[in-house]
Amino acid sequence: MDKNKRGISPVVAVAMLIAVVIVLALIVFFAAREMIEDVLVKSVAGEDMERGQACREINLDVGYYSSDGRVEIVNDGNIPVYKFDILAEVDGYEQSYFSDEEFDSESLGIGDSITVTIDEDYDEVEVIPIIIGEDEEGVEMSAKCEDHTHKARRN
């Protein structure tokens, strides 16, 4: 063996160890976050269901009429929607966001409809439903169904 060869310095070894620990912590954090999101329980007609199942059962019929900026939303599903957010797209890449803090969105019960007016002309609007339920301790909380959105192109 060659006695002139040396290993990596202790400073580099510690830096690499810290980087590995940070990466592992991020992996655990994101995995745990996904599991925690499904803790919300929605009770409909005496049947309890987790957030993911409740979001899948939401069926919104969305119409967008750019001439007067109307977004018509009809709840055709069997899950009441607490509130909603609207994402609006222009020229295929710009997106504007209208959250329930910016306009007064109302609860949308089963079979109900609502019309919201937005000011500008967009190519497409996307409605993101927000449901309300309880966590494991019975505390009321809301959750966005971001992976179950409903889109409408300009009419």
SS3 state at 107: coil
What's this model's pTM, rounded to 2 decimal places? 0.66
Mean pLDDT confidence for 29-34: 76
| pLDDT at residue 26 is higher than 80 | yes
User: 74: pLDDT confidence band, cut at 50, 70 and 90?
Assistant: very high
129 φ/ψ angles, rounded to the nearest 5 degrees: -70, 150
SS3 state at 70: strand
pLDDT at 99: 64
SS3 state at 104: coil
Tokens 């409909």 -> residue = 44
Would you kindly state where each structural domain of the chain is located, as residue ranges? 41-153
User: 54: pLDDT confidence band, cut at 50, 70 and 90?
Assistant: confident
CA 32 to chain centre: 17
pLDDT at 40: 61
Contacts of 132-135 with C-beta under 8 Å, sequence gap 24+, read 132/42, 132/82, 133/40, 133/41, 133/42, 133/43, 133/51, 133/54, 134/40, 134/41, 134/43, 135/39, 135/40, 135/41
83-90/124-134 β-pairing: antiparallel
pLDDT at 17: 95
Average pLDDT score over the chain: 80
Tokens 């439903």 -> residue = 129
Q: Does CATH place domain 41-153 in 2.60.40.3970?
A: yes
| pLDDT at residue 19 is higher than 80 | yes
Rounded to whole angstroms, the Cα distance separating 24 from 17 reads 11
Residue pair 64/154 in contact (Cβ under 8 Å)? The answer is: yes
